[in-house]
Structure 1
């Protein structure tokens, strides 16, 4: 059953309060014109940056039942598939099986994989997840959006400079991934991080101004926006990167300013730094590009 609107199946975490996982991805995708079906791998009260977290993890049988229901009703036709945080190697293996089935139904399906494993040198998933991502899931991806640490984990290579980053990207392309996007790297200076996107011989980098706060859900938002804009721009990777970063920057800046107004000094508590997606609906629909991507020669 094909449809006139692009259709995404997003399998990610869910929080009752705040914006991570599907809560960070579904709303922007819908605003940008996508039909979104979402399966929540966990249902938590809030993200794990808070002092207390309560909730449940979706059992593999329940995931299988949901997918079976979609298939039995012939409503499992998707143009895009998006995955983020996974809690265990077994649930990730199950997702690899789901991708294969969805690609049988629609061979043109685009799989966007955000291989959520860690950041700043720390893994926050079981280490057994790494080989499943590396060997089973990532080779199925069309678009991959790791941060620097995740890209280094997957390839076993480190990037100290742009040349190192390009080698890591090349190693990921060799796994069969058409588009590789390093959502953030520490290759910039004290004021900026660098994002890099590469596809079919074209490679661009963009400077991302740093903010004096830690946000949760930005990676999930990045992957969703990149999926949407790559579709809307017909895979114009430069424009996709610019639109994605423009949206992210506007939302992060607004979130930061409102949080600082309430909490002028010191570390901002998690409840004040939840991404302000709803208030920035117009920005998501129509971001203003202020930072341009620059071509990088391989």
Structure 2
């Protein structure tokens, strides 16, 4: 079996690119086998305002895991989790991690604790204590946004020093690598991302400015987590290099997406469909990103 084999548990859409649709192709392009479990299957992402589809329940997740286990297929190098909509489903993921680690004690668990943004939760509030008390102690890498980091630590981030303190609080709960994929601490032109690796006395901290683009995209957090998983693996844990390649790839994808949306919209404001990520068209950028951002060590 491939040395790099990912079990990715997150949402799925028939049309567009969020969740597993956003994560699977980039991981495959970068040489990872990907087995996907879809926590939901919707016609399109919920930002459209109307969607139809199904939600996988915890018993169905159990059945899939049992099938994999019975056929000796739980041999994964990585577990990647994203959007989960119910507390019972998330609790089953907590129970699944030790089963996979029993097969591969070196499993790397990458968790994007998808709970909300801009001060608003869009999952049931009961997921928060499960993420905080049960998932974080199991995770190796977490990629929350600023709001999610505040929820997980019960703190408020008002400045960069607050953010570093929050990262330390998250490390204390278990994960060795924490990256705030986006914060409100940048400028009018840039978002600020912060990343930290801590193992015993060893600590690495970096920050990077991310140029803002004049559009709202969906699926970028899912793409970010998948790319970061890949590049942390391919660089042998080089935090600076992995962050630079991840964000540079995102910039290339988003610039291409925006340029395409502007053509499709004919000068009018782009629709949700126009702003679906141009992932397939960005294959070469995913494979060999042109590094356009520089991470700065703290």
Aligned ranges 1:270-285 → 2 under 5 Å: 270-285=272-287
Cα distance in structure 2, aligned partners of 1:191 and 1:235 = 30
CA deviation digits over 1:25-63, x for unaligned, max 9? 010000000011111111100000113100001122211
Shift of 1:270: 0.6
CA contact (8 A) 1:213 1:267 kept: no
1:234 aligns to 2:232 (yes or no): no
TM-score, normalised with respect to structure 2: 0.97
CA deviation digits over 1:50-88, x for unaligned, max 9? 131000011222111110010001011000000000011
Shift of 1:162: 1.0
Structure 2 residue aligned with 1:27: 25
Aligned ranges 1:212-291 → 2 under 5 Å: 212-263=214-265, 267-291=269-293
- Let me know the Cα RMSD of the aligned residues: 1.0
Q: Partner of 1:271: helix, strand, or coil?
A: coil
CA contact (8 A) 1:5 1:33 kept: no
Structure 2 residue aligned with 1:44: 42
Q: Partner of 2:277: helix, strand, or coil?
A: coil
Cα distance in structure 2, aligned partners of 1:153 and 1:267 = 33
Shift of 1:158: 1.2
Structure 2 residue aligned with 1:79: 77
Aligned ranges 1:99-114 → 2 under 5 Å: 99-114=97-112
CA deviation digits over 1:84-122, x for unaligned, max 9? 000111110011111121112111100000000011111
Q: Partner of 1:38: helix, strand, or coil?
A: strand
Aligned ranges 1:1-298 → 2 under 5 Å: 3-200=1-198, 201-263=203-265, 267-296=269-298
Cα distance in structure 2, aligned partners of 1:25 and 1:173 = 25
CA contact (8 A) 1:181 1:195 kept: yes
Cα distance in structure 1, aligned partners of 2:273 and 2:281 = 16
Cα distance in structure 2, aligned partners of 1:209 and 1:121 = 22
Moved more, 264-273 or 85-94: 264-273
CA spacing shift, 1:155–1:265, aligned 2, 3 Å:
farther
Cα distance in structure 1, aligned partners of 2:30 and 2:11 = 21
Equivalent pairs, count = 294
Cα distance in structure 1, aligned partners of 2:155 and 2:285 = 37
Runs of 5+ unmatched residues, structure 1: none
Cα distance in structure 2, aligned partners of 1:4 and 1:91 = 28
Cα distance in structure 1, aligned partners of 2:39 and 2:125 = 19
CA contact (8 A) 1:6 1:79 kept: yes
Cα distance in structure 2, aligned partners of 1:89 and 1:267 = 37
CA contact (8 A) 2:2 2:33 kept: no
CA spacing shift, 1:51–1:6, aligned 2, 3 Å:
same
Q: Partner of 2:137: helix, strand, or coil?
A: helix
Q: Where does structure 1 differ by over 6 angstroms across 4 or more consecutive aligned residues?
A: none
